[in-house]
Amino acid sequence: MVIQKILFPREEVCNEWEMFFHSKEIKKACPVKITTRRFERPEGALLQKRNKLYDKRYKKGAFTIPKGDKVSFQSYFNAFSIEKWRKYTFIEDLTLHLQLEGNVKIKAFNAVGNAYHEGEPTDDTKDRYYFKKAVRREIDVNVTKCEDGVNVEFPNLDYKGIIYIKIEALEDVTFYGGEYITSTAKQNDVNLALCICTFKREEFVTRNVNQVINGIINNSKSVMKDNVEVFVSDNGQTLPNDTFKCDKVHLYPNRNVGGAGGFTRDMIEAVLYRKNHNLSHVILMDDDIVLDSEVLERTFLFLKYLRQDYSKAMIGGELFELDRRYLQFEAGAAYRQVVIQSYNQIWDMRNPDAVAANEVENPMNFNGWWYCCIPVSYVREDNLPLPVFIHRDDVEYGMRNEENGTILLNGISVWHPQGPGKASTAMNYYDVRNDLICMCDKKDAPSATEVMNHITRGVIGNMLRYRYQVIDCIFYALKDYYKGPDYFMRLDPIENHKELARFNYEFTEPKGIDLSKMKDEKAKDLPNDIYLKSALCWLLPSRDYTRICSLEDVGLAYRARHVYLYDENRKAGFMTTKSYKEAFRIFKNYIKVMLLIALKHERVTRQWADRKKEYTSLSFWEKYLELK
C-alpha cells in the first residue's frame, strides 16, 4: 500500500525545487546561504537561478540526474516522518520504491532536528536561532533492483526525526518518481467531509473545489475517490446552485455570521443532520488557500493507519506564505492568557535543518482552520464552535478539545495570503473581544490585573506609533465585552462589522513619499531598551520629518512627526501623525477603560462562562443560522 508519494514541483502549487530535492552539483554551481534566523527572508537572483537549473533537468514528468551528481530527498515534501509514523500509526514495515533508468548508488540517512523557541535558553539571546544544525547519520537499507527501478527497504524503523535517501548517479539517470509503501494489511475506515466557508470569493472556492472533484472524486487512480465529500457554506449567497456539477459536493446558502457561522453550518449539515453518515473526520479549510490534492491524500493515508490510542487526535495543516511559498508562517500554536505563541514562524523550508527541526513536537493547543482535520466524535450537539463571527473561533474550539492533541507532519500544508496588510485595523476589535470570550471559562483565564497589563502594553505600543485609531478600536472591543453576553447576542454581527470599518486607516498612493528611504527594522534586531528610548523620544518635541517604513517594520516613530507605513502588496500606505490632543483624549479614555475592567471583569467573565454551553449547542445555532 502506498502511504506517501514522491512529489515534484508544480507551477500552480509550489515551484520551489529545494522543498522537494537537493542537488549537490546545482548547489555547487550556484551557492546560496539560506538563513536560519526567524525574521530574515532570503530573496534574490541566485535563488531564482537555482530553480532555473532544476527546471532545465525536468522534462515531461522526468528528472535528469547527470553522471556524478548526488540528489538528496531531505526535503519538506519528500523526506519521511519516521518518528511520527512509528509513534502514531501501526505500520510494520517500510520500503521506498523508486522509478528510474540508469545505474545509481543509494545511501539512506536519519536526521534529528534541533529546535528552539521563545523562552528557551540559547547561546546568544539577541540573535536567537530558532533551529540549529540537525544531527545526521547513515543508516542501513537493503537496495534491490526491480523491473522499473529499485526498491529501498528500511529493515529498522526505530528512529527519531526523519529518514531520507541520497541518489548518486553512476551514469546519466532519468528519475520518474517513487513512493513509500508498506505491506501492513490492517487499515482504518476513513471517510472525510471537506468543509469550506466562503464569502464572495467565487474564483478561489471554485478553483479549490474543482481541484478536489478532478484530482480526487473523478480520478479513478485516487486512493480516496470514494471516501470524500465536500460541503460549502456560501455566506455571501453568490454561488449558483449548479456551480459544482458533482453529487458529492453540497452547497448551502448561509446567513453571513462570519467564518464561525460558516464552518458550523458545514459541520451541522455534514454530521448532525445526516444521522446515517459514515464520516470519520471533517476537514475545515479556508476558501482562499492554495490546496494540493496530494495533501488530502497524505492526510487520508495517515489516518488509515492511525493507532486507536490516537484516534481522537486532530491533524493540523502547516501554513505557508502565498507570495513566498518556501516560507512557513506557522506550524501549530499555543494560546495561554490571551497571548498566542506561534511555532516555527518564517522558517525557510528549503533548508534541510529546518525540515528536520520542524518535526520536533511543540506544546500546541490549537491549529488554524486554514486546514484542520477533526474527528467527528467532537462534532456533537453540545460541542459546536462559538458564534464569534471571525478570529479566535478556531483557537477556542481547539483549546476546548485539546485533550487528545494535534498531530503535524511535514508535507501536510497549505499556502495562504499573509502579511500585515491583509488584516484591517478593525481586526483588533475581534482579537481583543474574542480573546476574552475564549478564555472566560479556562483555569488560566486572565485576572482583571492581567487584562489591564495586557491592554496597557498595547496602548503604549500604539501610542509610540501614533496609531490612535487602533487604540480606539481596542477600547471599543473592551466596552462591548463588558456589556456581557446578553448584549452580544442582541448585536447584529453584520451591522457591527460595518460599524468597525470607521477604525480602518485609508490607504493612499505614496505621492511625495520617497520609498527609497523606507526602513524595515524588526523588533528582534533592536536593543532591548528600544521602547523605553522611544517613550522618551515621544515626550520630546518632534522633528518635522516623515519616517517611512514597511508594514513589517517595528513602526516606532522615534522623534518623527509623521510615520508613513507602506504596504508592498497594495502599492499604497497610510500616514500617522503625532498629536498631543489625541494623546490626551486617549489617556482620558484609558482611565475609563481601566476602571471598567476593575469593576466588571470578574462578574462579567462569570456570565460569559455560564452561557458558553448555550452558545455552543445545536439548538442555539439552529436559531442563530435561521435553520428552524
* pLDDT confidence of residue 336: 80
Q: Shortest CA distance to 232 belongs to which of 209, 257, 200, 261? A: 209
**pLDDT confidence tier of residue 359, bands split at 50, 70 and 90:** very high
Would residue 621 count as lying in a domain?
Answer: no
In which region does residue 89 sit, left (phi positive, over 0), alpha (psi from -120 to 50) or beta (all else)?
A: beta
* pLDDT confidence of residue 524: 58
Q: Work out the burial of residue 191: count CB atoms within 10 Å of its CB; fewer than 13 is exposed, 13-18 middle, 19 or more buried.
A: middle
User: Greater confidence, 36 or 473?
Assistant: 473
* pLDDT confidence of residue 118: 52
Instruction: Show which of 181, 215, 248 is a domain's final residue.
Output: 181
Would residue 323 count as lying in a domain?
Answer: no
* Total of domains in the chain: 2
**pLDDT confidence tier of residue 36, bands split at 50, 70 and 90:** very low
Would residue 385 count as lying in a domain?
Answer: no
* pLDDT confidence of residue 275: 83
Residue pointed to by grid coordinates 502594553: 457
Counting residues of the chain whose pLDDT is more than 90, the rounded percentage is: 73
Which residue range forms the structural domain that includes residue 114?
2-181
Q: What is the pLDDT of residues 266-303, one digit of tens each?
A: 999 999 999 889 999 999 999 999 999 999 999 999 99
**pLDDT confidence tier of residue 456, bands split at 50, 70 and 90:** very high
* pLDDT confidence of residue 519: 74
CA distance 552 to 367: 24
**pLDDT confidence tier of residue 33, bands split at 50, 70 and 90:** low
Residue pointed to by grid coordinates 458533482: 246
* pLDDT confidence of residue 59: 86
Counting residues of the chain whose pLDDT is more than 70, the rounded percentage is: 93
The answer to whether residue 40 scores a pLDDT higher than 50 is: no
DSSP-derived pairing of the beta strands 192-198 and 228-234? parallel
Q: What is the pLDDT of residues 145-180, one digit of tens each?
A: 999 999 999 999 999 999 999 999 999 999 999 999
What is the distance between the terminal CA atoms of the chain, rounded to a whole angstrom? Answer: 46
Q: Residue 216's Cα: distance from chain center in Å?
A: 23
* pLDDT confidence of residue 608: 96
CA distance 135 to 345: 22
Mean pLDDT, residues 600-612 taken together: 96
Instruction: Show which of 163, 181, 199 is a domain's final residue.
Output: 181
User: From residue 622, how far is each of 255, 376, 433, 613, 619 by CA, in Å?
Assistant: 11, 19, 24, 14, 5
* pLDDT confidence of residue 60: 79
The answer to whether residue 47 scores a pLDDT higher than 80 is: no
Mean pLDDT, residues 475-495 taken together: 94
Other Cβ atoms closer than 10 A to 362: 16
* pLDDT confidence of residue 38: 41
Which of 86-90, 203-207, 587-591 has the lowest average pLDDT?
A: 203-207
The answer to whether residue 128 scores a pLDDT higher than 80 is: no
Extract the C-alpha cell encoding 182.
508498506
Mean pLDDT, residues 571-581 taken together: 92
Q: What is the reported pTM? A: 0.91
Mean pLDDT, residues 13-26 taken together: 93
Q: What is the pLDDT of residues 518-558, one digit of tens each?
A: 877 665 566 667 778 788 888 888 888 898 988 777 778 88
CA distance 73 to 18: 9
The answer to whether residue 419 scores a pLDDT higher than 90 is: no
Q: Work out the burial of residue 465: count CB atoms within 10 Å of its CB; fewer than 13 is exposed, 13-18 middle, 19 or more buried.
A: buried
Mean pLDDT, residues 359-385 taken together: 96
* Residue 612 CB partners (closer than 8 Å, separation 6+): 386, 440, 441
Mean pLDDT, residues 24-45 taken together: 62
Would residue 299 count as lying in a domain?
Answer: no
* pLDDT confidence of residue 556: 82
Mean pLDDT of the chain: 90
Would residue 566 count as lying in a domain?
Answer: yes
CA distance 136 to 158: 15
Mean pLDDT, residues 321-336 taken together: 90
* pLDDT confidence of residue 341: 85
Per-residue DSSP letter, 215: I
Would residue 270 count as lying in a domain?
Answer: no
* pLDDT confidence of residue 45: 66
Extract the C-alpha cell encoding 131.
533551529
* pLDDT confidence of residue 123: 36
